[in-house]
């Protein structure tokens, strides 16, 4: 029997009629070949002779010989995203064996890289969507391998949904991860965390994947409020009148061109029994659709702009995961929501607006709207004097031009924080590349008619300096440590799916945000 505790990973999209059904995850220390199911997933590695099964699967010699003979006949390589499906495998109770490639083995200890393992298992569970029960044999004999296997299986077990008809293809209904350490106490906490991350990633993806005529600032705020019911997260919302009273000029300027007004959503998680807790502020960009405003985008560039709220989706999802895990750290998060359209109230180049806190900005690019709403959020976050501020946004096309579609940009006003965030992201399997805040770029933000100019030619670094201007001082009188995560590339995948990454919303950034909270707890 599977180990007698389990977790479920539901889609938590309360106002979305077509949502993902529940995928459950259990762990077991039984022989993988004895467990009945629709499929048994095994991991292969790349060798000079072709694909070979990764050690630790526990299968008998006859079974292994049959599988590796079939892999040789099919000229399998064991490379990333290679998935081979076999039937009638002796010694296996499951109806089908799915062999998924993880690439070359790391030399040290002949262990698999955790992210390679996540991607391999996730690629398999993604490609067997619709099956009811899938058994996944974790390679190796340790908690780390079992954890990476569970995470990858959950991240891959996701399908895009239709608002009218539900899932286009149902995700795997039930996952069983097989490992000899299934009864290890440390694995319990690791699997609980994996389930929370899987749930949060699903929620972030579902938010991003909603059509912009369904998800706009008002409905985004309503969905987050409904999701918070029964949790330890408290949610408050500012509408247009509240934003005007609070002098949130960035939200009002960007949202003024849309008939769907802006919102600023605040999520608070304060653990009752936290000891020596720290306070983290998260700020997420939530442009629910970006037409470019009066600097209208060409049609090809506009087609994916429902994803311009992926930063806010990541923040909301991470906060719910942090609360689910009961981390002893205080979180205050801000979702900066607006729709950038071309209506009569749209902001113009040469307009001068006042951000929360009093700084003025000369607008020169209506399509650089994200930093304007983020400025409001960062200024508000600074007022609480948290121990650190993390913002996340699909902010610049320059980040995509520099780093491509799978790597995000990272900037910070604190070298130590930048290094910590990079290490956390690496461990989580989310790729970031640090950019410097070059001093010679700062003077290009000067405006003759305002405190700051909105946009400049140096892309990622200009935007970083702009956001840094709204970071206040902490309790020690020094600038609050702050990091900016520009996820414009990896937040949305309009190419072919790969690893555990589906087409459309990816949920990128959720794991890094949760990891940052864990590092402070």
Q: Closest Cα to residue 26, out of 117, 116, 203, 146?
A: 146
Q: Which residue has the tokens 């949610």?
A: 235
Distance, CA of 420 to CA of 243 (rounded, Å): 34
Quote the distance between the C-alpha of residue 32 and its chain's center. 31
Summarised one tens digit per residue, pLDDT across range 402-416 is: 999 999 999 999 999
CB-CB neighbours of 109 under 10 Å = 8
Name the strand (E) or helix (H) holding 282.
strand 279-290
Which residue out of 260, 371, 418, 511 is catalytically annotated?
371
Confirm whether 6-188 and 236-520 share one CATH topology.
no
Name the strand (E) or helix (H) holding 339.
strand 330-340
Cβ contacts of residue 241 below 8 Å, gap of 6+?
Answer: none
Instruction: Work out the angle at residue 171's Cα, subtended by the Cα atoms of residues 219 and 96, and round it to the nearest 5 degrees.
Output: 175
User: Once rounded to an integer, what is the mean pLDDT over residues 343-358?
Assistant: 98
Range name among 14-28, 48-62, 258-272 with the lowest pLDDT average: 14-28
Which residues does residue 27 pair with via DSSP β-bridges, in sequence order?
A: 177
The chain-wide mean pLDDT, for the chain, equals 93
Summarised one tens digit per residue, pLDDT across range 366-414 is: 999 999 999 999 999 999 999 999 999 999 999 999 999 999 999 999 9
Beta-strand pair 23-28/6-9: antiparallel
- Of the pLDDT bands very low, low, confident and very high (cuts 50, 70, 90), residue 266 is very high
User: Once rounded to an integer, what is the mean pLDDT over residues 441-469?
Assistant: 97
What is the predicted pLDDT for the residue at 10? Answer: 41
Which residues does residue 6 pair with via DSSP β-bridges, in sequence order?
A: 26
Look at residue 6 and tell me whether its pLDDT is greater than 60.
no
Summarised one tens digit per residue, pLDDT across range 148-204 is: 999 999 999 999 876 544 556 788 999 999 999 999 999 999 999 999 999 999 999
Distance, CA of 201 to CA of 207 (rounded, Å): 10
Q: Closest Cα to residue 152, out of 56, 25, 307, 51?
A: 25
Look at residue 13 and tell me whether its pLDDT is greater than 50.
no
What is the predicted pLDDT for the residue at 238? Answer: 98
CB 288 within 8 A of CB 338: yes
What is the predicted pLDDT for the residue at 112? Answer: 86
Look at residue 109 and tell me whether its pLDDT is greater than 60.
no
User: Once rounded to an integer, what is the mean pLDDT over residues 32-45?
Assistant: 97
The single-letter DSSP state of residue 312 is H
Distance, CA of 467 to CA of 519 (rounded, Å): 24
Beta-strand pair 233-238/504-505: unpaired
What is the predicted pLDDT for the residue at 105? Answer: 76
Fold of the 6-188 domain: 3.40.220
Instruction: Give domain 236-520's CATH number out of 3.30.70.260, 3.40.630.10, 3.30.479.30, 3.90.870.10.
Output: 3.40.630.10
Look at residue 427 and tell me whether its pLDDT is greater than 90.
yes
- Of the pLDDT bands very low, low, confident and very high (cuts 50, 70, 90), residue 271 is very high
Instruction: Work out the angle at residue 316's Cα, subtended by the Cα atoms of residues 172 and 302, and round it to the nearest 5 degrees.
Output: 85
Q: What is the dihedral of CA 219, 245, 268, 413, to 10 degrees?
A: 110
- Of the pLDDT bands very low, low, confident and very high (cuts 50, 70, 90), residue 106 is low
Tokens of 408: 């995000």
Distance, CA of 339 to CA of 351 (rounded, Å): 18
- Of the pLDDT bands very low, low, confident and very high (cuts 50, 70, 90), residue 97 is very high
Share of the chain residues as helix, strand and coil, in percent rounded to the nearest 5: 35, 25, 40
Look at residue 4 and tell me whether its pLDDT is greater than 70.
no
- Asked about 297 being catalytic, the answer comes back as yes
Summarised one tens digit per residue, pLDDT across range 442-451 is: 999 999 999 9
Which residue out of 104, 278, 297, 385 is catalytically annotated?
297
- Asked about 183 being catalytic, the answer comes back as no
Q: Packing angle between helix 143-156 and helix 114-127, nearest 10 degrees?
A: 40
Domain ranges of the chain: 6-188, 236-520
Beta-strand pair 50-53/352-354: unpaired
């Amino acid at each position: 029997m599977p180990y007698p505790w389990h977790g479920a990973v539901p889609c938590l999209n309360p106002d979305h009629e077509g949502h993902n059904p529940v995928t459950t995850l259990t762990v077991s220390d039984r022989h993988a070949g004895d467990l009945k199911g629709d499929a048994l997933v095994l991991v292969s590695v790349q060798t000079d002779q072709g694909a070979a099964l990764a050690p630790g699967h526990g299968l008998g010699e006859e079974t292994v010989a049959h599988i590796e003979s079939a892999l040789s006949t099919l000229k399998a390589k064991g490379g990333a995203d290679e998935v081979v499906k076999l039937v009638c495998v002796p010694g296996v109770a499951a109806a089908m064996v799915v062999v998924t490639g993880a690439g070359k083995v790391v030399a040290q200890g002949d262990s698999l890289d955790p992210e390679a393992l996540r991607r391999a298992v996730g690629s398999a569970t993604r490609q067997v969507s619709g099956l009811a029960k899938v058994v996944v044999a974790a390679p190796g004999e340790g908690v780390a391998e079992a954890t990476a296997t569970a995470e990858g299986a959950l991240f891959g077990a996701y399908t895009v949904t239709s608002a009218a008809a539900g899932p286009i293809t149902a995700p795997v209904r039930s996952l069983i991860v097989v490992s000899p350490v299934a009864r290890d106490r440390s694995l319990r906490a690791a699997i609980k965390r994996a389930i929370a991350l899987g749930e949060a990633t699903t929620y972030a993806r579902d938010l991003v994947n909603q059509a912009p005529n369904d998800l706009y600032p008002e409905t985004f705020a309503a969905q987050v409020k409904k999701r918070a019911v029964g949790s330890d997260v408290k949610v408050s919302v500012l509408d247009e009148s509240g934003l005007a009273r609070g002098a949130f000029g960035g939200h009002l300027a960007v949202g003024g061109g849309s008939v769907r007004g802006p919102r600023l959503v605040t999520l608070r998680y304060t653990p009752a029994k936290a000891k020596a807790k720290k306070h983290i502020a998260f700020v997420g960009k939530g442009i629910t659709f970006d037409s470019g405003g009066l600097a209208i985008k060409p049609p090809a560039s506009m087609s994916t702009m429902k994803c311009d709220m992926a930063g806010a989706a990541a923040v909301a999802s991470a906060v719910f995961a942090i609360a689910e895990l009961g981390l002893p750290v205080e979180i205050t998060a801000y979702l900066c929501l607006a729709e950038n359209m071309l209506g009569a109230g749209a902001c113009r180049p040469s307009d001068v607006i006042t951000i929360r806190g009093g700084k003025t900005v000369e607008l020169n690019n209506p399509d650089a709207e994200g930093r304007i709403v983020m400025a409001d959020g960062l200024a508000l976050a600074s007022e609480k004097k948290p121990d650190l501020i993390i913002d996340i946004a699909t902010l610049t096309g320059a980040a995509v031009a520099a780093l491509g579609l799978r790597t995000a940009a990272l900037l910070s006003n604190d070298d130590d924080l930048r290094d910590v965030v990079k290490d956390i992201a690496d461990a989580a399997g989310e790729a970031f590349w640090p950019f410097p805040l070059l001093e010679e770029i700062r003077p290009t933000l000067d405006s003759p008619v305002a405190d700051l100019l909105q946009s400049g030619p140096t892309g990622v670094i200009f935007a970083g300096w702009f956001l840094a201007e709204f970071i206040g001082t902490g309790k020690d009188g020094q600038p609050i440590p702050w990091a900016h995560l520009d996820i414009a590339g990896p937040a949305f995948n309009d190419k072919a799916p790969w690893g555990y990454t589906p087409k459309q919303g990816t949920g990128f950034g959720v794991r890094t945000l949760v990891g940052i909270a864990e590092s402070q707890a």
